[in-house]
Chains A and B, each alone.
Chain A
Amino acid sequence: MATEQILKLKEKANWVRQRVLEMITTAGKGHIGGAFSCTDILTALYYGGILRFQAADPKWIDRDRFILSKGHSAAALYVILSDLGYFPSSELSRFQKENCILGAHPSLKIPGIEADTGSLGHGLGIGVGLALSAKLGKKDFMTFVLLGDGECCEGSIWEAAMFASGRKLNNLVGIVDKNSLCSTDFLENCVNMEQLEQRWKTFGWDAVTVDGHSLEELVAVLSQTRSRQSEKPLMIIANTVKSKGVSFMEGKPEWHHSVPNKEQFEIAKKELSEE
């Protein structure tokens, strides 16, 4: 992808983060940390020419399926879906408020959302079912699933991993937003999550590690996913920083679910607009 286009993607990612900051601050609740760590990944998928979709026809039968398995990062996805025309941007300012379609976690009731998520460990199995159906029906849509590394503690992820490689689902792409934090702590203080790429390979997947904030690297690896010759599903380990983009939030467990006060909001907004 040309440098100019990459620059545009970076600008878009920044714009998304600013909208997320506004949404969560206005709502008084939400998950900034996880939304910011995966904003570049979502930007690459939706604006980098990776996903096939028709916003005017959300249920278009041949669309690629994207599942946000780490559902708490929904705010970033909502901003993007709204920007693409799935629903009016007026909904964003009412995020989590009465009668708003946008709850803290994604629901099938929202145009552009493919599955209810929020409890971790479900999305990969659902994605496996979608990819399996495509294989059985000889459909060429791809299925993408975004996971958290904290989510990889869930045993159901590894049940799905074994089954997907066993069925040779090379139309399935997983992405781990590896920000090294879970909800309340550093992941390494809870479990051993070392050599994550190797673990997926051991489970029969192709796996590759990229910088999850490099739109060049993300677009490069994602744009190859449709033409891969391998029989295996692909897992992309995206190294990220939780709360990426705001210096005082980056890598801090407390920003998993904290809401900035007025002063913090102004600092964060300034930092994001200067990037």
Chain B
Amino acid sequence: MTPSNIDIRDAFFDELYNIAKNDPRVILLVADMGAFSLVKFKNDFPDQFINVGIAEQNMVSVAAGLALAGRKVFIYTIIPFITQRCYEQIKIDLCSMNLPVTILGVGPGLTYGNDGPTHHGTQDIAIMRALPEITILNPSSAIMAAASMNIGYKNSGPTYIRIDKGKIPEIYNQNSDFSDGLAELKNGGELTVIATGIMVHQALKAAQELNNQSISTGVVDLYRIKPLNKEKLSRIIDNSKRLATLEENSIVGGIGSAISEFLTDNGKTIPLKRIALPDQHCFESGDRESLLAFYNLDTNGIMKTVSEWIKK
């Protein structure tokens, strides 16, 4: 694992810049949302960048109209605003019509820690997962972030990408192939932790410590939450004695629910521990790191949860 020098959000938008440069059909709509790496995009492609104002419902419908006219559209703002505020527009204008629009939601989980529940992205996986046509990506590294933009660009239907911020260690290389939808980063026979987004890094740290305690722990990066790669998932599950899911999303409806549904639907009986944010709005004050620790989603907290579970 080598430290990444690039902010993951810049990795997303730098790649979008390259895509837009080569295809004039590409257009980016933002609902009064910026990013340092978007300044160059806006300056160099003024006809491909539109700030629609603080009007997310309209942004989604306009994106649908642009896509109906043959354009490849990306839309961008903070997760709750671009998923929950305009959910019905996404359902009908993008999904029911199966249009090639990529939804870029920034701020998974408690990214906007101090800003409170209005800005927390903690229910988006649950609601977006309920939409039939959509592809959902939750990248865990800068290289994957860039790749995910291309997946959205090439998709003939709607894509939702959770955009993270900050410098995150790189775990892939430029030749990595992300068509599988998940990656088995570490093998382990006793326990397999299925994580998504930046929680993959917490899973890797926890796995390291659990392995030191002679609990053979594997880690799966479930970067494509929908559709699930059922075949590969099945094989991984069949080679594990226990499963844990780890996500920065509410315990209701996230990847823990997705995996639980998968086990039930496929008659797989294996102990499963879902590790996620509790079913409550977070009014605690603090940055993302301290809030994750508060909710036992830091390495120590995860270790504690897993150890107590295994001991039972």
B96 proximity list for chain A (CB < 8 A) = 107, 116
Q: Is the CB of A136 within 8 A of B70?
A: no
Chain A interface residue count, Cβ-Cβ cutoff 8 angstroms:
32
Whether the Cβ atoms of B47 and A130 lie closer than 8 Å is: no
Residue among A108, A125, A156, A160 making CB contact with B97, cutoff 8 Å: A108
A31 within 8 A of B: no
Within 8 A of A (CB), among B48-103: 50, 52-53, 55, 57-58, 60-71, 88-89, 92-93, 96-97
Within 8 A of B (CB), among A134-174: 134, 136-137, 143, 155-156, 159-160, 162-163, 166
- In angstroms, Cα B65 to Cα A67, docked, is 10
Q: Does the CB pair B97–A128 fall under 8 Å? A: no
Report yes or no: B89 in contact with A122, Cβ–Cβ below 8 A: yes
Bin chain B's interface residue count. 20 to 34
Complex alpha-carbon distance, A131 and B55, angstroms: 18
CB-based contact B65/A159 at 8 Å: no
| Contact, CB under 8 Å: B58 / A159 | yes
Contacts of A107 in B (CB 8 A): 96
Q: Which 3 A-B pairs have the closest CB atoms?
A: A129-B65, A125-B61, A133-B69
| A29, B138: Cα distance in complex, Å | 44
Q: Let me know if A133 and B58 touch, CB within 8 A.
A: no
B68 near A114 with CB under 8 A, answer: yes
Q: A136-B47, A137-B69 are in contact. Are A126 and B61 (CB under 8 A)?
A: yes
Decide yes or no: A119 and B88 within 8 Å by CB, A125-B57, A125-B58, A159-B58 being known contacts.
yes
B63 contacts across to A, CB distance below 8 A: 129
Q: Quick one: closest A residue to B63, CB to CB? A: A129
B53–A128 CB distance below 8 A: no
Which of the residues A116, A124, A133, A163 comes within 8 Å of B55, measured between beta carbons?
Answer: A163
Secondary structure at the A interface, as helix, strand, loop or mixed, is helix
Contacts of B57 in A (CB 8 A): 121, 125, 155-156, 159
| Chain B: minimal CB distance from A173 (Å) | 14
CA distance A177 to B229 in the complex (A): 48
Please tell me which one of the listed residues A116, A132, A137 contacts residue B62 in the complex, with CB atoms under 8 A apart: A132
Kindly identify which residue among B60, B65, B89, B97 contacts A131, using a CB–CB cutoff of 8 Å: B65
Can you name 8 A-B pairs with beta carbons within 8 Å? Answer: A119-B92, A125-B58, A128-B61, A129-B63, A132-B62, A137-B69, A156-B58, A160-B61
Q: Other than A125-B57, A126-B68, give 11 A-B pairs with Cβ distance below 8 A.
A: A117-B92, A125-B61, A125-B89, A128-B58, A129-B66, A130-B65, A130-B66, A130-B69, A133-B69, A136-B47, A155-B57
Q: A122-B89, A122-B92 are in contact. Are A115 and B58 (CB under 8 A)?
A: no
Which residue in A116, A119, A124, A129 is a CB contact (below 8 Å) of B69? A129
Residues of chain A lying within 8 A (CB to CB) of residue B27:
136
| Known pairs A115-B64, A122-B92, A125-B61; A159 contacts B55 (CB<8 A) | yes
Q: How far is the CB of A64 from chain B (nearest CB, A)?
A: 12
Instruction: Assess whether A126 is in contact with B93, with CB atoms less than 8 Å apart.
Output: yes
* Nearest chain A residue, comparing its CB with the CB of B62: A129
Q: Which residues of B contact A128 (CB under 8 A)?
A: 58, 61-62, 65
Q: Once the chains bind, are B97 and A116 in contact (CB under 8 Å)?
A: yes
Candidates A65, A143, A160; contact of B58 at CB < 8 Å: A160
| Chain A residue with Cβ nearest B56 | A159
User: Do B88 and A163 touch across chains, with their CB atoms under 8 A apart?
Assistant: no
Q: Nearest Cβ distance between residue A213 and chain B, in whole angstroms?
A: 30
Instruction: Tell me, in angstroms, the Cα distance from A72 to B229 when the chains sit together.
Output: 39
Residue of B nearest to A117 (CB): B92
> Are the CB atoms of B65 and A126 closer together than 8 Å?
yes
A127 part of interface (Cβ distance < 8 Å): yes
- Tell me which residues across on chain A come within 8 A of B69, comparing CB atoms: 129-130, 133-134, 137
Bound complex: CA of A268 vs CA of B299, how far in Å?
A: 73
A160 (CB) vs chain B CBs: closest residue? B58
- Docked Cα-Cα span, A107 to B98, in Å, equals 12
With A119-B88, A156-B58 known as contacts, the answer to whether A126 contacts B47 (CB < 8 A) is no
Which residues of chain A (78-111) have a CB below 8 Å from chain B?
107-108
Q: A163-B52, A163-B55 are in contact. Are A156 and B65 (CB under 8 A)?
A: no
Chain A hits for B53, CB < 8 A: 159, 162-163, 166
Alpha-carbon distance between A114 and B60 when the two chains are bound, in angstroms:
16
User: Considering only CB atoms, which chain A residue lies closest to B99 in the complex?
Assistant: A108
**A132 touching B89, Cβ below 8 Å:** no
What residues of chain A lie closer than 8 Å to B61, measured between beta carbons? Answer: 122, 124-126, 128-129, 156, 160
Chain B neighbourhood of A163, CB < 8 A:
52-53, 55, 58, 62
Interface string of B188-225 (1 = CB under 8 A from A): 00000000000000000000000000000000000000
The CA of A175 and the CA of B168, in the complex, are separated in Å by: 51
Using A116-B96, A160-B62 as known contacts, say yes or no to A129 and B68 having CB atoms under 8 A apart: yes
Taking the closest CB of chain A, its distance from the CB of B235, in whole angstroms, is 37
Residues of chain A within 8 A (CB-CB) of B64 are 115, 125-126, 129
Residues of B within 8 A of A143 (CB): 65
Contacts of B62 in A (CB 8 A): 125-126, 128-129, 132, 160, 163
Q: Let me know if B65 and A133 touch, CB within 8 A.
A: yes
Among A126, A131, A166, max chain B CB count under 10 A is at A126
A window 220-245: CB within 8 A of B: none
